[in-house]
């Protein structure tokens, strides 16, 4: 395989498309060589911005033997078709969450990548941040006791300040609103912290701006043993906020309330809030993708998380639409 790896950016529908194209340009082991978008005007503008070729024919681009991999940031409804094409063409795939609109499609994509022997990695960046590494250590140590309740909230002002594109409010393209896009991060963190799959999901969505999709969302996930995990998302909140609460039978932990500080109280931490040191972050998803390509390995945990995230999001959207709790079937290992 040539060095550096050649990468094409597929689709500039998502707001993170430019971030991943930039990663391909800046990573020492990759180079960005081309752009495709189903919206030719948008694609040509992106290609001009990054100084690379715009290719109007996706099939022709994927057929190029010198192309090693692709970043895929099309609209969510296109993920399944485009990723299957890329996998069958033998191209490694780095993609935006959610992986697909349905669990079946997500599993289909993972299976196609495995069959083709290509590295597939989904961008789930908050799994690898410093606060997540610190929380995992605390959970490993058991100092919180039994974790009984968690709350993770992520919000920004995208539709208040006007920087979030209107296409994020198109249900056919986006599949959902604040929860489906922004709420993915609190969702997969909630699952990680409880170290189990939820057994039911109950969601309530708000429509402050009158769009067809939600711009405020609150979801409660029930985990085995009566444990609850609440995750929230909003794109109509100024200023933006990211907070974590973990409550256990022996101690409590909070992060992000008034700054990027992690505090713990109770049990081994004493009666006063104690600040916990944050370790370095783990390698980010794009770096992991490049390493998997070079090593010929698969991102098993990343992909399992991506499929289970899809399951949670689909259940949340169903719950909000029906005003009912949605029970989750036992998951099958990826």
For 82-114, write each residue's pLDDT tens digit: 999 999 999 999 999 999 999 999 999 999 999
CATH code for the structural domain at 5-118:
3.40.50.720
Domain range list for the chain: 5-118, 126-283+314-327
- Retrieve residue 14's tokens: 């998502």
Residue pLDDT, tens place only, 222-268: 999 999 999 999 999 999 999 999 999 999 999 999 889 999 999 99
**Which tens digit of pLDDT belongs to each residue from 20-50?**
999 999 999 999 999 999 999 999 999 999 9
How many CB atoms sit inside 10 A of residue 332's CB? 9
Q: What is the pTM of this model?
A: 0.96
SS (H, E, C) the chain: CCCCEEEEEECCCCCCHHHHHHHHHHCCCEEEEEEECCCHHHHHHHHHHHCCEECCCHHHHHCCCCCCEEEECCCHHHHHHHHHHHHHCCCEEEEECCCCCCHHHHHHHHHHHHHHCCCEEEECHHHCCHHHHHHHHHHHHCCCCCEEEEEEEEECCHHHHCCCCHHHHCHHHHCCCHHHHCCHHHHHHHHHHHCCCCCEEEEEEECCCCCCCCCEEEEEEEEHHHEEEEEEEECCCCCCEEEEEEEECCCEEEECCCCCCEEEECHHHCCCCEEECCCCCCCCHHHHHHHHHHHCCCCHHHHHHHHHHHHHHHHHHHHHHHCCCEECCCCCCC
CA distance 221 to 269: 28
Q: What pLDDT is attached to residue 3? A: 78
Residue 1: is its pLDDT beyond 60? no
pLDDT(329) > 80: no
| The pLDDT value given to residue 259 | 87
Q: Assess whether pLDDT exceeds 60 at residue 141.
A: yes
**pLDDT at position 330, please?**
66
**The two three-digit tokens of residue 67, written as one number:** 């192309």
Residue % of the chain over a pLDDT of 90: 96
Per the CB < 8 A criterion, the answer to whether 182 and 259 are in contact is no
Give the pLDDT band (50/70/90) at residue 334: very low
Position 332 pLDDT exceeds 70: no
pLDDT at 206 over 90: yes
Look at domain 126-283+314-327 and name its CATH class.
alpha beta
- The mean pLDDT value of the chain amounts to 96
- pLDDT recorded at residue 333: 47
């Amino acid at each position: 395989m040539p060095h550096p790896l050649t990468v094409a950016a597929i689709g500039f529908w998502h707001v993170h498309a430019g971030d991943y194209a930039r990663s391909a340009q800046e990573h020492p082991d990759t180079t960005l060589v081309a752009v495709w978008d189903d919206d030719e005007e948008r694609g040509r503008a992106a290609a001009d911005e990054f100084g690379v070729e715009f290719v109007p024919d996706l099939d022709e681009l994927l057929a190029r033997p010198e192309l090693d991999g692709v970043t895929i940031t099309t609209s969510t409804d296109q993920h399944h078709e485009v990723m299957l094409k890329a996998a069958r063409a033998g191209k490694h795939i780095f993609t935006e969450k959610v992986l697909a609109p349905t669990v079946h499609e997500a599993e289909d994509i993972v299976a196609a990548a495995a069959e083709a022997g290509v590295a597939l990695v989904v961008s789930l960046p908050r799994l690898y941040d410093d606060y997540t590494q610190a929380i995992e250590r605390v959970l490993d140590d058991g100092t919180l006791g039994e974790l009984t309740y968690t709350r993770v909230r992520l919000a920004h002002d995208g539709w208040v300040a006007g920087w979030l594109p209107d296409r994020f409010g198109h249900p056919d393209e986006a599949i959902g609103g604040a929860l489906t896009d922004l709420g993915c991060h609190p969702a997969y963190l909630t699952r990680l912290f409880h170290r189990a799959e939820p057994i039911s999901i109950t969601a309530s969505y708000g429509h402050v701006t009158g769009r067809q999709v939600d711009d405020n969302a609150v979801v409660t996930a029930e985990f085995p043993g009566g444990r609850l995990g609440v995750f929230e998302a909003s794109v109509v909140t100024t200023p933006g906020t990211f907070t974590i609460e973990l409550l256990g039978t022996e101690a409590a932990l909070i992060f992000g309330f008034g700054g990027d500080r992690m505090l713990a109280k109770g049990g081994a931490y004493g009666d006063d809030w104690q600040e916990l040191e944050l370790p370095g972050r783990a390698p980010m998803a794009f770096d992991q993708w490049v390493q998997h390509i070079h090593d010929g390995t698969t991102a098993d945990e990343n992909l399992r998380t991506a499929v289970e995230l899809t399951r949670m999001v689909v259940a949340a959207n169903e719950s909000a639409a029906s005003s009912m709790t949605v029970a989750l079937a036992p998951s099958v290992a990826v």
